[in-house]
Structure 1
Amino acid sequence: MATAVSALGPVDHVELPDGVIRYHATGSGPPIVFVHGIIANADVWRGIVPRLRDRYRCITPDWPLGGHTDPMRPGTDFSLFGLADLVQRTLTALDLTAPTLVGNDTGGAICQAVAARHPERIGALVLTPCDAFDNFLPWPIRHLQLFGRTPAGLKVLAETLRLRAVQRLPIAFGLLTRRPIPADIMAGYTGPLREHPAIRRDFAHLVRTISPAFTREAAEGLRTFPHPTLIAWARQNFFPLAHGERLAGLIPDARLRIIEDSGPFVTEDQPQQTAALIDEFLKEAAVH
């Protein structure tokens, strides 16, 4: 199930050597590109974009992280830095000049890798709770690297995610939000793994490459990242606040802001607070 034409704007696509990247775009002004995490899609940002599109051009791709519907071509590099290169190629294909990159969950780790490897391609960085340092993947969901190594294992995993009770377990989405994610949104996140063998193959390739060696390398690269950065973190243990504090201390021009009463998916639990912090940051940073 692809993301619907909605508050995110109409669907378009870009053709890359890796395959098709579908995206939504709406609004006008300085561009913001959003990067979601695994087993999710652009709908992660549905509460954020309507609060920013009056002042910014909001671009929300469906990245190939398990919630996508267009499989990538054979040979696609699904490692953290391979995905960072894919984001960079997408920015180039969309002819974006110095966009702000906003990441959550696995998408935040990808954004760190983009900032470390391609700092010239972005103008500002926003990291909400995400994988960092040695926390890639967080321990409650490391079983994904067992089940996710084969399409057959992923099929079993995806079928269990049909059940709302399973979705709220700590080993699924239960630790990611304080409040349940709507059923139709969850169907959009988890449906592609159930319905498309090629998506399961993509995701199996992805989970086999996950390693904290990549997030540690990305963190080292952030020490010289030259652009304004917002670390908008929540008080939770899935992506520890200490990691947000550490990132804020690592990046030269970074500031830390706390999002209250939220799990790691701040876009689900506190979209108004999250959007307000992004808007405030971009105004202070004078991003044009």
Structure 2
Amino acid sequence: MSDWHLSRTFDSPQGAIRWDSFGSGPPIVLLHGTPNWSFIWRGVVEHLSPQHHVHVFDWPGFGRSDRFDGQNISWDEQARRLPELFAHWNLTAPTVVAFDFAPIFALRAHFFEGLDVGAFVFADAAVIPPFITDFSRLARENQGTMRRLPTHIAEGMIAAHLAQTTHRPMPPEVFEAYMSPWRGEEGVAAYWRAVARYDEDMAAPLVARLDRLTVPVRLLWGSDDAWFPPEKARELAAALPEAELRFIPEAGHFSPEDNPRAFAEELLAFERELGRTAEQHG
């Protein structure tokens, strides 16, 4: 799956969403975070799809989905896309794997939009503030300055930030795949629009509701996550005492990129524990 391509389109109130699905069996929905896109799931999908029906997509404003000036990609608006997509896919209570900032979208959809979820997996998860990186906080608070930067300077800053996400340096072609949505004047503008919407206040009401979750939850975390270190993982685990925390070895913040096999194996083990196997689904 090195040639990653999403072949289908869903027309949402915030533009076209690119999506695809792979395999058959019990459904799993994979939610990417930022500054990444569905490309991060390619290796995980390869291991899951023989046993599961896996759905992936790019959030509006990210990857190959529509991106445009004035687009509403606030974190509460992003949460509204999930019930729409679930209805379009005719999904009932799938396992939702939410990475990075996506747990905020998924939890807001579950608590406030009535999203039907069978189980949650939160990976390297931004849930309990503070979690915005120093660079992103600086960029958000100085949008006017950032938007006046020459494109090549902005690209260099974004690339330097992105390079911190993995435990080991990415191969050049992989790094370029992550950078490609943020290249050029249009890509840089999309990046600053995304950063402008980073809002830890959107997470605050979720923290107070974590003890109301009634679905099974598993936590996965890169053992060497430099953005959200293990202390953040344990903080979230303490707020979800029924959720087991598992560390992905030799993995940084982009744990699905660093170690997709181990990440997928943890998901498959969780599904087996829940009795969500292809045999039982059939």
- Shorter chain as denominator, the TM-score bin is 0.7 to 0.9
For the structure 1 residues 195 and 174, does the alpha-carbon distance in structure 2 shift closer, same or farther, using more than 3 Å as the test?
closer
The alignment of Structure 1 onto Structure 2 pairs a total of residues equal to: 275
Deviation at 1:278, TM superposition (A): 0.4
Q: Percent identity?
A: 25
Residue from 197, 218, 225 that aligns with 1:209: 197
Q: Does 1:43 align with 2:43?
A: no
Deviation at 1:73, TM superposition (A): 7.9
Q: Which residue of 2 aligns with 1:106?
A: 101
Residue from 21, 25, 34 that aligns with 1:25: 21
What is the CA–CA distance in structure 2 between the aligned matches of 1:82 and 1:223, rounded to whole Å? 24
Deviation at 1:158, TM superposition (A): 4.5
Q: What TM-score comes out, normalization by structure 1 length?
A: 0.83
Q: Secondary structure of 1:136's partner? A: coil
Q: Secondary structure of 1:242's partner? A: helix
Deviations 1:212-251 (A, max 9, x none): 2112222223221111111011333421323222323323
Residue from 139, 143, 162 that aligns with 2:134: 139
What is the CA–CA distance in structure 1 between the aligned matches of 2:150 and 2:182, rounded to whole Å? 7
Give the residue type in structure 2 aligned to 1:25: S
Q: What TM-score comes out, normalization by structure 2 length?
A: 0.84
For the structure 1 residues 206 and 196, does the alpha-carbon distance in structure 2 shift closer, same or farther, using more than 3 Å as the test?
same
Q: Secondary structure of 2:67's partner? A: coil
Gaps of 5+ in 2: none
Gaps of 5+ in 1: none
What is the CA–CA distance in structure 2 between the aligned matches of 1:98 and 1:43, rounded to whole Å? 24
What is the CA–CA distance in structure 2 between the aligned matches of 1:234 and 1:154, rounded to whole Å? 34
RMSD: 2.8
What is the CA–CA distance in structure 2 between the aligned matches of 1:156 and 1:66, rounded to whole Å? 20
> Would you say the 8 A contact 2:128–2:204 is kept in 1?
yes
Residue from 80, 83, 86 that aligns with 1:85: 80
Give the residue type in structure 1 aligned to 2:75: L
What is the CA–CA distance in structure 2 between the aligned matches of 1:4 and 1:195, rounded to whole Å? 23
Q: Secondary structure of 2:24's partner? A: coil
What is the CA–CA distance in structure 1 between the aligned matches of 2:150 and 2:128, rounded to whole Å? 26
Deviations 1:168-221 (A, max 9, x none): x4xx12331111223223323222332462x55554343223222112222223
What is the CA–CA distance in structure 2 between the aligned matches of 1:60 and 1:262, rounded to whole Å? 21
* 1:36-75 pair list within 5 angstroms: 36-71=32-67, 74=70
What is the CA–CA distance in structure 1 between the aligned matches of 2:94 and 2:102, rounded to whole Å? 16
Give the residue type in structure 2 aligned to 1:53: S
Deviation at 1:273, TM superposition (A): 1.0
What is the CA–CA distance in structure 1 between the aligned matches of 2:208 and 2:97, rounded to whole Å? 19
Give the residue type in structure 2 aligned to 1:183: P
Q: Which residue of 2 aligns with 1:238?
A: 227
Deviation at 1:131, TM superposition (A): 1.7
What is the CA–CA distance in structure 2 between the aligned matches of 1:116 and 1:242, rounded to whole Å? 26
Q: Which residue of 1 aligns with 2:250?
A: 261
Q: Secondary structure of 1:143's partner? A: helix
